[in-house]
């Protein structure tokens, strides 16, 4: 499973990219707004750090302007993927852009039928939001399982990005389910490393070494 970072924070992206853990990046308008920086400048900087797909989202909600924004954004770098919301206008825009060879990440996917429509329209990625479904007492990961089953039945060139990840178990479950990608917020990425027994074990190794050989 590929790891994308779900952030527009370039310091965090660089930090994990230096460990070889970042296959791509996803952003959304909320994440970019949080950084308080120029949108295009941030996206350009991310493409200079990560050699993989970088999702940048359109802010228009009608297909004509979505297409215009998408064409503009995709000129910035070959790795730019255009994130488009899963609405009828978005599907229309995705269909037009896919024919031009522009890669689409269809976002705000909350049902199997939405994922199926996105794949049929030519989206290269679908982003089911597991955390937001869990928030309303639906099991987000069941949606990922269903989409996996549908995509495995056919020959869609569409990868599943598990999005709205809130904890390490979401990442593990995404891998168990056979999702292609998990897009992980930096705070969850950090938690993936931790285990108390690792810390206890290392402290003991160091202590035993020091008692035998000194510092």
Catalytically annotated residues:
83
- Distance (Å, whole) CA 116 – CA 205: 52
Pairing mode, strands 24-26 and 2-6:
parallel
Asked if residue 183 binds ligand E4P (CB under 6 A), the reply is: yes
Binding ligand E4P (rule: CB under 6 A), the pick from 47, 74, 127, 177 is 127
Q: To the nearest whole angstrom, how small is the minimum distance from the Cβ of residue 164 to ligand E4P?
A: 3
With a CB cutoff of 8 Å and minimum separation 6, the contacts of 81 are 24, 53, 54, 55, 56, 103, 104, 105, 124, 125
Binding ligand E4P (rule: CB under 6 A), the pick from 47, 69, 96, 107 is 107
Pairing mode, strands 54-57 and 24-26:
parallel
Task: Report which of 8, 79, 11, 87 is spatially closest to residue 47, judged by C-alpha positions.
Answer: 79
Asked if residue 164 binds ligand E4P (CB under 6 A), the reply is: yes
Asked if residue 26 binds ligand E4P (CB under 6 A), the reply is: yes
* 76: helix, strand or coil: coil
Binding ligand E4P (rule: CB under 6 A), the pick from 7, 9, 28, 96 is 28
Output 81 or 201, the one with its CB closest to ligand E4P. 81
Please count the residues of this chain forming the interface with ligand E4P, following the rule CB under 6 A: 11
Q: For binding to ligand E4P (CB under 6 A), which residues are involved?
A: 6, 26, 28, 107, 127, 129, 131-132, 163-164, 183
């Amino acid at each position: 499973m590929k790891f994308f970072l779900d952030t527009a924070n370039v310091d965090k992206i660089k930090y994990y990219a230096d460990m070889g853990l970042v296959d791509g990046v996803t952003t959304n308008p909320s994440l970019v707004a949080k950084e308080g920086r120029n949108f295009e400048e941030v996206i350009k900087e991310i493409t200079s750090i990560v050699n993989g797909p970088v999702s940048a989202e359109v802010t228009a909600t009608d297909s004509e302007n979505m297409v215009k924004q998408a064409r503009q954004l995709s000129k910035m770098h070959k790795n730019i993927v255009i994130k488009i919301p899963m609405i009828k206008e978005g599907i229309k825009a995705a269909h037009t852009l896919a024919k031009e060879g522009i890669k689409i990440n269809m976002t705000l996917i909350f049902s199997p039928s939405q994922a199926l429509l996105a794949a049929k329209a030519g989206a290269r990625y679908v982003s089911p939001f597991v955390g937001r479904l869990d928030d309303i007492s639906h099991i987000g990961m069941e949606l990922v399982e269903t989409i996996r089953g549908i995509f495995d039945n056919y020959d869609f060139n569409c990868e599943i990005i598990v999005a709205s990840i809130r904890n390490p178990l979401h990442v593990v479950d995404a891998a168990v389910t056979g999702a292609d990608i998990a897009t992980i917020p930096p705070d969850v990425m950090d938690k993936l490393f931790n285990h108390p027994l690792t810390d206890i074990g290392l402290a003991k190794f160091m202590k035993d070494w020091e008692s035998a050989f000194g510092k």
